[in-house]
Structure 1
Amino acid sequence: MLITSLLPLLARYSLGFDLVAGPDETVTLTIIPRKADPKSPALDSGEARPISITASAAEIDAELGRGVEGALGQLIATRKTLADQIAAQRQADEDAKVAAAEAAKAKAAKTTAAKPPAPTIPPKIQTPTRPPADARPEEPATLF
C-alpha cells in the first residue's frame, strides 16, 4: 500500500526513505522528496519538506492501508496540489516575461520608426563679412 499511496508523488519527484526504530517498538518512516529531473527547477521549501510518520509498525501499516483516505494519502494529495500550483505559477511567470519582452521589442520598433532622421548637414551660420558701418579702424570691434 505504501507504493500505491506514493504514486502521485513519484510522478513528480524522486523519493528517499528513512526507517528508524524508536523506543517502545515505534518506527519513524520519513519520506524525502527530491528533484526527479536535474533540468527541472529547484524545489520550493514546501515541496522539499520531508514527510515523517512516527507510530508502531501496525499503526503505520493500518494508516497506509487506508490509501487515499488516510493521513498520508491526504498529505500527498495536498502536496500534489501545491506542486501543481507552483508549476502553474512558474509557467505564468515565464509567459509574462516573454510577453513583456515582446511588448518592449514592439515599442522599441515603433519608437525607432516614428523618429525623423537626424540631419546630416549642419546648418549654416551667417557670419558678417564686412565690419559695421559705424566701426572705426583705431577702435576694436565690440559685441555690446
Structure 2
Amino acid sequence: MLIATLLPLLTRYSLSFDLIAAPDGTVTLTIIPRKAEGAARSLDKSESRPISITASAAEIDAELGRGADGALGQLVASRKALADQLADQHQATEAARTAASEAAKAKAAAVKPKVPAPSVAVKAPALPSLPTDAKPGEPATLF
C-alpha cells in the first residue's frame, strides 16, 4: 500500500526512504523527495521537504492501508497539487519572459535611427572696427 500511496509523487520525483525504530516501540518513516534523473528543473524547497511519520508499526500500517484517504495519501495529494502549481507558474514565467524578449526585439527593429538635421552655418559676430588713428603693425590701444 505504501508504493500505491506514493505513486503520484514517483511520477515527478525520485524518493528515498529512511526507517528508524526507537526503543519505545515507535517507528519513524521518512520519505525524502529528490530530483528525478533527467528532470529539467531543480526542486523548489517546498517540494524537497521530507515527509516524516512517527507511530507504532501497526499504526503506520493502518494509516498506509487507508490509501488516498489516509494522512499520507492526503499529504501526497497536496504535495502533487503544489508541484503542479509550481510547474504551471514556472511555465507561465518562461512564456512571459519569452514574449517580453520578442516584444523588445520587435520594438528595437521597428525603431529607425534618427538622421541628424543639417546644421545651420553660424555667422561669426562682426568685429568692432579699428580706431581711426590705428597704424598698421602696431597694437591698438584701449585708451
Q: What's the TM-score bracket when you normalise by the shorter of the two chains?
A: 0.7 to 0.9
- For residue 36 of structure 1, what is the aligned residue in structure 2? 36
Does 1:86 pair with 2:86?
yes
One-letter code aligned to 1:45? K
Give the 5 Å matches for 1:61-100. 61-100=61-100
Root-mean-square deviation (CA, aligned residues, Å) is 2.7
- For residue 116 of structure 1, what is the aligned residue in structure 2? 114
Q: How many residue pairs end up in the alignment?
A: 137
Q: TM-score, normalised by structure 2?
A: 0.82
Identity %: 61
Map Cα deviations across residues 80-139 of structure 1 (whole Å, 9 max, x no partner): 00000100111111011101101111111111x2x33357x9876778xxx979456445
CA distance in 2 between counterparts of 1:133 and 1:104 reads 57
**Where do 5+ consecutive residues of structure 2 fail to align?**
none
Runs of 4+ in 1 over 6 A off after TM superposition: 121-127
Q: TM-score, normalised by structure 1?
A: 0.81
**Where do 5+ consecutive residues of structure 1 fail to align?**
none
State the secondary structure of the residue aligned to 1:45.
coil
Label 1:12 to 1:139 Cα distance change in 2 as closer, same or farther (>3 A).
Answer: same
Label 1:78 to 1:133 Cα distance change in 2 as closer, same or farther (>3 A).
Answer: closer
State the secondary structure of the residue aligned to 1:49.
coil
Map Cα deviations across residues 5-30 of structure 1 (whole Å, 9 max, x no partner): 00000000000000011122111100
Larger radius of gyration: 2
CA distance in 2 between counterparts of 1:132 and 1:53 reads 99
State the secondary structure of the residue aligned to 2:24.
helix
State the secondary structure of the residue aligned to 2:16.
strand
CA distance in 2 between counterparts of 1:5 and 1:109 reads 54
Map Cα deviations across residues 54-94 of structure 1 (whole Å, 9 max, x no partner): 11111111000000000000000000000001001111110
